[in-house]
Every structure is written in structure tokens, then in C-alpha cells.
Structure 1
Amino acid sequence: MFINYNISEIISQLSSAIHYDESIVKNLPDGKLNCTHNGRYIKWFLSDGNNISYIHKKDRQLASTLALKKFLLSRIEDNKRLLATYKQCNSTDIQSELLLKDNDFRKLLTDYPENSKHIYCNRDLFRDFHNEQFQPVIDSWLSEEYNHNEAYPQALKHPCPSGNVVRSKSEAMIDLLLNQYGIPYRYECELKLDNISFYPDFTLFNPISGQLVYWEHFGMMDDPQYSLNASRKISRYIAGNIIPGINLIMTFETSPNPLSGVIAESKIEEYLLMCNNQQAPS
């Protein structure tokens, strides 16, 4: 289990969560939901601070929306209290962070890649776990030419700081995170399975274990045909010994549920633990 002791990261995450919830609340109906129980029955009321009106059962959607508002407002207050507490904390109070400031201890800790399984690897610490024996292979792998996906070039319209131009904002976010973690990768590199060409969104070289891991982001799962095609692709990967949770990372989104940075980063943390015995590419 990982607990993030990086105070600045926690403060940033809480601030983002508060901002997100507040942006939702401002678009919800005015008023406050009050509920009263009468035996097995419940009644809903709308209060505007001065007057109270009954919400009829046929207006259940309004009651449900006001329930969401009440929940979000409570969560905002909870997170504001947490934020105030963390802002009072001094990073020097965190003993594990003090240990990492000792370069000799840090070097000893990160000399053994297996230790990464048991440590919350923030972006900075993860780089220390890179296995130096793989660096020549990584350098060669990154310098090699490879076949790109040439289909629908007009969809490549999201430039990234890495220099890649990708097909969606979600892919741009993944590209950015991979760069921040220092994970070597290729975008839409051809992969042959039973003489059929596939183009995983990202092909990653794990600098800890030396294994190749593939990342597919399925961004239109509310489209029935797209969803069916995604299922078929996943089955093809499994048949080719590319297994979800082992050497295949998958993320999904629908129109009302876009990929979040929290989910994408959690997938990278999960990926860091994939230190099995698969051979590095040659």
C-alpha cells in the first residue's frame, strides 16, 4: 500500500480536487436539500434559506441533483480542512523524506531495484531506481527507426513537449507523464502478432526491469462499434502473450468520463511494480 508523504503533492492534489468539485457545484440548481423520515417513507424538501418547498416524487431527478450538491459541498469542506492541516505541516517533520535527503542512504536504498516494489516512487525517486545495465540497450532502442501508424494522419493534432504529435488530449497527458518519470517509450510503434500489424499507443521500456510494456488508451468506449473493436484488440493481445496487468496497461474513457491525471499516474505507479523476469529487448 502506498501513502504519499510528499506534502507538496498532497496539497496540489487537494487543491485540484476542491477546484474540480467547486466547478461542478456552481452549475447545479440553487437551494439546499432537506430530507425527513416518516416511518418507511422519506420526504424531500428544497430550502432557499428563507422558504421551504416540497419536492414531489416525480421530481426525483431534482432531489438527486441536490443530493449530489450536498455531498460535493461536504467533500469540499472536508478537503479544505485537510488542506489547512497539510499546509501547517513542515516537510522536515516527515522522517522518510529526511532519509532520502541523505545521498549515501538514498544510493544504498536504490541500488537494489526490487526495493521499488515496496516504496512509494515519486517521479524523482523513480529515476534513482533505473537499472544502469539497461542504459546502453535503452539508448540503442530509442535511436532505432521504427514503423509508425500511418492511418488517419489528420488526427495527429496534439503536439507534446516531447516533440511527439498525438491523437488526443488524453494521449498528450500520458506522453507528458512518461517524460516526467523518465520512462523510455515509442509512440504508435508497429507490433506484429501473427503477421498482423498493431500499433499500441505507447510501447514502454521499463528502465527498472528491462521489459517491454504496452499501453493502450481506449478513448471512445461509449461508442458500441469502437467498444467491440477494443474488445477484439484486447483478445488479440492476450493471444499474443501480451497480458493486461502484466505487460499491457489499459486505460479507458467515455465522453462524460475523460481520463484523469490521477488515474494515468496511478497506472504508471502500477507499471513500476512490473519487475518480472521478462527479457529486455535486443
Structure 2
Amino acid sequence: MKNVRREEKAIKDLLYEQLIKREHWLRDLKQNLETSIQNAPSGNLKIINCRGVEQYYLDSAETRTSYPNGKYLRKSDLELASKLAQRNYDEKLLSEVEKQLKNIQNIIKKYEKQEIVQVEELYSVYDRMSPSRKKMVDSRIMSDKEYVNQWSAQIYSGKDFEEGQAEIYTEKKERVRSKSEKIIADMLYHKNIPYKYECPINLKGLGMIYPDFTCLRLEDRKTILWEHLGMMTDPIYCQKAMKKIDIYAKNGFIQGRDIIYTFESEKYSLNTMSVENLINQIFST
């Protein structure tokens, strides 16, 4: 389902991108034509073939009274004739550009509205079912809201807190172990990124461990772990942290793709700007 979802989104994005590019191209062309027409001499060019010889005439509001059939243009007026011909062409092209621009803008509006309606209708087939019935079927497609609900509803047991340990709570009213973890949790929360705190996983070579955060990138429904290693000045802690990173790598967790690491020491505290940049980069792809 993840691959299908990604392919559908890629196709939708490609089509929408092409529509937008076409609209921008037409808008730029329209603006250039309007500028050219505004700077061109007024009037229309009439071309009459007289015994195999082309004769050029200027037809304009200013000359029509004195020259009802058009003012004859001599060879010395050839540049003016060319500008009039260009103006006439630009006006016809502008008319067609405006038609196409209006059509494509209507298509974009309909595309955006219909895309939302059609997708929501597909999702609603499952969403409208009763909870009892939902348990009995495998949803072929699932709305983001329903997916997050199911992902978040999975029950797990995190690590216990030691007696006397400082009580630090996130904005979600969850207890965490450090102020830095609270910073990360609150930033994920504010950016609407679903996460679980200390959700256990089993790693070959390490056994059951509790990553600080298990996050959900909703765009492709990928789970990404986040480990904050906050005591890197402590030699024993640092050694254990490096071993954990190595085992993560051996289990196929690649930094920036499957897992995020942030670090801290006595001299270097967690940089909130760096945290926000990491979230924006990894969870908006």
C-alpha cells in the first residue's frame, strides 16, 4: 500500500506540476504580448495584391476619415508595415492565449476540487464503517486520519521511570526523561508529526531496546526512529551510545533515512534550530 500511495501521489504531483507550468508559460506569454501591443503603432495592416505586386495600407481610426480604404504605405514605410503586421499577429495570438489560459485555469480548479472529492470519497468507504466491521476487513486504502489513529492506537509498554527522577512533561502531557527530549517532543507535536515515546523494538545483537521517539512520516507512511544521545561527555555513556549506533546500522537503519541522531554534551546543549531543520528536511520529503 505504501508503494501504491507513493506512486499515486507522484502521478498526481506530476500532472499538477505540468498544469501549473503550462499556466505560468501562458501567463508570461500573455504579458509579453500585451506589452508588445501596447508599444506598437495603432491600426491594422491591409495587404492588397495589385497585378502581382503587394501594396500595403494602414487602416486606423486616425486615418479612416481621410483614407476610407486605408492610407497607402510607401517603400519608406516598410518598417511601419512590419510593426503593424506584428501587432495584428500579436493581437490574434493574444486572443487565443487568453482562451487557453482561461481553460487551463478552469481545469486546475476542477482538478484540485475533484481530486480532493474523489480521494475523500474513496477513503470514506472505510471511514463510514462501524468499528466492529472495520476490525473484520483489510482496508485497501486508508485516509491519513484513520491511518494515524490506528498507528497511534497500538498499545505498548515503555520503560519505567526510576524513583526520584525529575518529572518533565511534554505539551502532550507525556512524561519524558530530559528537557532536551521535551524540546524534541514538543516540536514534533507542533509540526503535527505523530510519534511514540520509548516504543520498544527488538534489534539483533542488542535485544529489546526503547528508542526515544518512533515517528511517522505520513507522506509515505514511513516509521523513523529518533535517538537523542545527551551525555556524550561521559565516557561510559559515549561508548554505549557508539555501540548502539553501530548495531542500528547493522540492522539496516541508515542515518537520515530510517533513524535520526541528535547529540549533547556538557559544553554543547541541544540546538533547537538544528532540531527544527532536521524535522523540516526529513519529514517534508
TM-score after normalising by structure 2: 0.48
